[in-house]
Amino acid sequence: MQKTGFSASRLRRLSTVLQGYVERGEIAGSVALIHRYGEEAYVDAIGWQDKEAQSLMKRDTLFRIMSMTKPVTAVAALMLVEEGKIGMFDPVDAWLPELSNRMVLRDPNGPIDDVSPASRSITLHDLLTSRLGIGWGDHQLMSTLLNLLPAPVAKPLGVEHVDLDPDSWINRLSELPLIYEPGTHFLYHIAHEVLGILIARITGKSLEEFFQERIFNPLGMMDTSLTVPSEKRDRLAVAYAPGPEGGLVIVDNPVTTGWVETPIFPSGGAGLISTADDYQRFGRMLLGKGELNGVRLLSRKTVEAMTTDYLTAEQHAHPFFNETDYDGSIMWTNKGYGFGVSVRTKQIGIGPSVGSFFWPGALGSTWIADPKEDLMATLMIQLRGAQLPENSKIALDFWTLIYQAIND
């Protein structure tokens, strides 16, 4: 462990803490993986892949990574920018005519038909920063937008949905006014679903095809996809939610999961299945400024752009769903947002350095890439809402136990 700059005995504390979560019944199981200085420093699979069947968690267990899909979709879009197929600040009207000539609510909480023309078109930069003017947030269209969450993603989140193909989906979205002018507010999720459609239209390939050909195969991410092949179904973890009276309740089971079917709508916002090892490769590529093991996907300058905070001072003052950080501060006090990733702007407690970047998933998975410490770490679990501070402190414990073990 010494060559990674970690204390082996201190890193073992992480296993003890994660085991405690399992023994208390707060999670079924986890897989944690850490690299530093390009070397594997720690890996442990703890608890159950399927608690009811007493099937042990394994290093190659498959997880629904949900919003950890978003950085992957952002990388795919940035590859198209590097190839000159679309400019960073180009309007997307040419590829997404459904989103041209938008109307904007005069009052985000006012009458739905009280609108005025948008001052400008939606750009790629707006999509990458989730500031296209419409998305999840505290406003009157939230329930309508939540019901646009596609299958199979909607089921484990307990959300009603309708099955729409990408063209029908974006047509449905186009029927709604923007809530804010493009570029002025961070609103969650919808932008990355739009990005997935944009990538497919620019390339003439399905989102799955582009991901596989340009990202997953080159990086050796052989277990990452939008669909679980039948021969891998027995490796998919059961997904849980906290029970109303304690314990865990199943929200998606490998026996009945929709992830075994090719999705009607490939979700660029939350659709991917992956493993700890695969996502670690993706994160290490970003940590390596776009390159891993001789395979370069992005330039150094593009990764620097991806991991820059673009939120304005006013946008920092408006947290997503009034969410708080682990120190109790409002969400954007100590971090900002780049392209599909949050960027740490102030260190809080024992944890990621300024400049670190990450984005978790709604079923509990998370990761952190810390350029200052040359560190990449992934934690895979399957528990709805586990990354919200009010539900669990597992992410804070994960970060604390990693950083307390650094001894160089």
| Predicted pLDDT at 135 | 97
pLDDT band at 360 (very low <50, low <70, confident <90, very high): very high
Measured CA to CA in angstroms, residue 227 lies from 153, 258, 263, 334, 355 at distances of: 11, 9, 7, 36, 33
Beta strands in 243-349 (DSSP E): 248-252, 273-274, 291-292, 295-296, 335-337, 342-344
| Tokens at 147, concatenated | 């019901």
* Residue range 190-212: mean pLDDT, rounded: 98
Residue labelled with tokens 């947290």: 319
Question: In terms of Cα–Cα distance, which of 385, 296, 337, 402 is closest to 71?
Answer: 337
For the chain, what is the mean pLDDT? Answer: 96
What is the separation of C-alpha 179 from the centre of its chain, rounded to a whole number of angstroms? 23
pLDDT tops 50 at residue 119: yes
pLDDT tops 70 at residue 131: yes
| Tokens at 232, concatenated | 């891998």
pLDDT band at 19 (very low <50, low <70, confident <90, very high): very high
pLDDT, tens digit, for every residue of 23-75? 999 999 999 999 999 999 999 999 999 999 999 999 999 999 999 999 999 99
pLDDT band at 162 (very low <50, low <70, confident <90, very high): confident
H helix or E strand, kind and range, residue 20: helix 8-23
Residue labelled with tokens 């923007």: 178
The reply to whether the predicted model has a pTM over 0.85 is yes
The answer to whether the beta carbons of residues 240 and 254 sit under 8 Å apart is no
H helix or E strand, kind and range, residue 49: strand 39-50
| Predicted pLDDT at 1 | 46
Which domains does the chain possess?
A: 2-71+207-403 (3.40.710.10), 75-203 (3.40.710.10)
Question: In terms of Cα–Cα distance, which of 37, 35, 32, 8 is closest to 18?
Answer: 32
Cα(first)–Cα(last) distance of the chain, in Å? 11
* Residue range 261-274: mean pLDDT, rounded: 97
pLDDT, tens digit, for every residue of 168-198? 999 999 999 999 999 999 999 999 999 999 9
pLDDT, tens digit, for every residue of 89-116? 999 999 999 999 999 999 998 999 999 9
The answer to whether the beta carbons of residues 13 and 407 sit under 8 Å apart is no
| Tokens at 144, concatenated | 């309508």
Minimum mean pLDDT among 13-17, 80-84, 143-147, 325-329: which range?
325-329
Contacts of 384 (CB under 8 A, 6+ apart): 156, 157, 158, 239, 240, 241, 242, 251, 362, 363, 364
| Tokens at 401, concatenated | 């136990």
3-state helix, strand, coil in the chain (%, to 5): 35, 20, 50
